[in-house]
Amino acid sequence: LRLFRNLKIAEKLLLTELAMTLSMLLVFSIFALGNHYHDLRTHLVQNILVQMNVVATSIGPAVMFDELSSAAKTLEPLSDNENIRTIVVLNQQQQTLESLHPLHAPIASAWQWLYPFFGDMALTTPIIVNEKVVGTLRATIKQEQIVDMLIGFAWSNTIAAIAAALFGYFVMWRLNRYIVGPIHTLQTFVSNITQNHHYEQRITTQSNDEIGLLGKDINNMLESISQRDAQLQQELEHRKEIEEKL
């Protein structure tokens, strides 16, 4: 606050406007990231649910007769999906018939430390044969790919925000000249009057805003001072004339 008080008006305006711009960009970025994360997650869940429904339909008879030895090939579409961590097939009594833990090549990313903050998702779909539920297909979904895509989106948003902030700073700097320029003109004019006592001078006002009204008030004040000085000068001359007659 002490530093802010020592700044010039132009610097205070720029700093205030820049802070407001960055605050709005931050709010927008957070909203955009949240919305993009929701879209990525929804898209991933929908795609995997489609795969799970297809597999559940194909594996139904094997689950009904507890014969999953020939069903491994049917589960391959899910096993090959790098977003799936585990696949569990349950019978009607919710007993585990098959449990798969697909092994995928680890993702080399500089943002792996973020993965624990995005927990796995559990998806289930019923296994139905002849309109009767004979089991459940359950899958645990990783969000690592979503995190990587979200980081890429965040970087692009950051670059766009920096570009917008720089452009906004340039625009604000140009606009502030129309605010600070008249103030600087007033300050120079008043300083000149104070130093040289040229009360007959007047400042030219070009706007009807607060700065223009202030310029008119300064002109009115100078007019009053000029009239007062003229009156005092007349009184002095009148007094001199009286003294000379005496």
Q: What is the pLDDT along the chain (246 residues), one digit of tens a residue?
A: 567 677 777 777 778 888 888 888 889 889 999 999 999 999 999 999 999 999 998 888 888 877 776 666 778 888 888 899 999 998 888 888 888 888 877 767 777 888 888 889 999 999 999 889 999 999 999 998 899 999 999 999 889 888 888 888 888 888 777 777 788 888 888 888 888 877 788 888 777 778 788 888 888 888 888 888 888 888 888 888 777 776
Structure-token match 């990313």, residue found? 109
Nearby residues of 150 by Cβ (< 8 Å), 6 or more positions away = 33, 36, 37, 40
pTM flag (> 0.75):
no
Helical ranges in the chain per DSSP H: 2-5, 9-64, 76-79, 144-196, 210-245
Single-letter amino acid code for the residue at 3: L
- Sign, CA dihedral 237-242-244-245, equals positive
- Sign, CA dihedral 87-92-93-97, equals negative
Task: Please tell me what DSSP assigns to residue 199.
Answer: T
pLDDT (0 to 100) of residue 72? 66
The tokens for 230 are 């003229």
pLDDT (0 to 100) of residue 138? 94
pLDDT (0 to 100) of residue 229? 82
CA distances from 176 to 15, 25, 157 (A): 11, 21, 27
